[in-house]
Amino acid sequence: MDLQQLEMRKVNEPAGGTSLLMKCLLAAAMGLASANLVAAEPVWRVVHGWPALPEGRVLGSVSGVGIDTAGNVLVFHRAGRVWPASDQLDTAPIVGTTVWILDANSGARIGEWGANAFAMPHGLTVDAHDNVWLTDVALHQVFKYTADGKLLLTLGERGVPGDDAGHFNRPTKVAVAKDGSFYVADGYRNARVAKFSPNGEFLMQWGAKGTGPGEFQTVHGIALDAQGNVYVADRENMRVQVFTADGEFLRQWKSEALGRPYGVVLASDGTALVADGGDQPSDPPDRSALVVLHADGSVAERVGRWGNYDGQFMMAHDLVLGRDGAVYIGDIQGRRVQKFVKVAE
């Protein structure tokens, strides 16, 4: 008997009170549910009415989100292009602007760029110098831009997949270290993390297809902690793997409550946040949520569920932790970005 059934039994039983047995069972079930998954009271809430987009303007599928040093929110979206059922990706440039800049407080759009540059946007990362790193899974390329959209660096050969120092196969995300070196999650077709010098020189790689330590099934998200350890959202293996800066396996986080990690971000206190995109290819997915983890990888809270109302997700795809402590989550099927803040204690 689950908790909901016990509650219904309690509501529907005749006058005279709950039996001692039922009281014990209900208390045990409530305690077990609380201990196994999340806190009894929600710690995070969605900010209704954020963002406030201009009249007549809408976001496409939001695949990446980032924060610049001023606290502005950058959104990478597909501007009307959708992933085809055939999985044959169009390499023609998207005409509309694909990078939008939003004010963190008001949600107003304060800038946009990226027209006629990308074919299938995916990952967005903003480094400590406000450079914007973008990946395109149709073009098999990684790009570095200035904050206002000037191209600085391109890695990979346009439209040509590969698995070597000069090619990617649908790269998904970039993580930039304090010394300027960077890691590329590569990604959908390859199963590796590639490390590059600050100027884009290939240094090393690790990973192979599989389920063991250091093996991957869809390298989808990547992030670094304060010590430079590398956290990889190993999506289809339903886990987060943790490595040293040189690719030595340290540990993994995997549980039913964690779900299927699409993106991961680390807070300064060791807390981790994960975008659980839900179980695929079920339609709709069985779940999607923001997952908050303790420093040891155990689940502290799951926020939201599958749906299209405020605070729900069709497919949580990427997330970023803001300078104001808020969490911003891009929803690729919901075609939106949402802001969540901690509930005042």
Range 79-115 burial, b when 16+ CB lie within 10 A, else e: bebebeeeeebeeebbebbbbbbbbbeebebeebbbe
Predicted local distance difference test score (pLDDT) of residue 43: 86
CB-side neighbour CA atoms (13 Å) of 256: 4
List Cβ neighbours of 275 (8 Å cut-off, separation of 6 or more).
221, 261, 262, 263, 264, 290, 291, 316, 317, 318, 319, 329, 330
Q: How many CB atoms lie under 10 A from the CB of residue 47?
A: 16
Query: By the 8 A CB rule, do 294 and 255 touch?
Result: no
Q: Please state, rounded to an integer, the average pLDDT across all residues of the chain.
A: 89
Residue 269's φ and ψ, nearest 5 degrees, are -90, 10
**First-last CA distance in the chain:** 33
Question: What is the pLDDT at residue 42?
Answer: 67
Least confident of 118-122, 253-257, 286-290: 286-290
Count of Cβ atoms closer than 10 Å to residue 294 Cβ: 12
Please check whether residue 324 is in contact with residue 104, taking contact to mean a CB–CB distance below 8 angstroms.
yes
pLDDT of residue 20: 38
Q: Which residues contact 262 (CB under 8 A, 6 or more apart)?
A: 220, 221, 233, 235, 274, 275, 276, 277, 315, 316, 317, 318
Q: Tell me the two tokens of residue 339.
A: 């802001």
Whether 207 and 163 have beta carbons less than 8 Å apart is answered as no
**pTM beyond 0.85:** yes
pLDDT in tens, 124-155: 999 999 999 999 999 999 999 999 999 999 99
Percentage of residues in the chain having pLDDT higher than 70: 86
Q: What angle do CA 339, 343, 345 make, to 5 degrees?
A: 155
Q: For 33-82, what is each residue's pLDDT tens digit?
A: 333 445 456 689 999 999 999 999 999 999 999 999 999 999 999 999 99
Angle of CA points 124, 236, 222, to nearest 5°: 30
How far apart (Å, rounded) are the C-alpha atoms in residues 46 and 67?
A: 18
Phi, then psi, of 77 in degrees rounded to 5: -135, 165
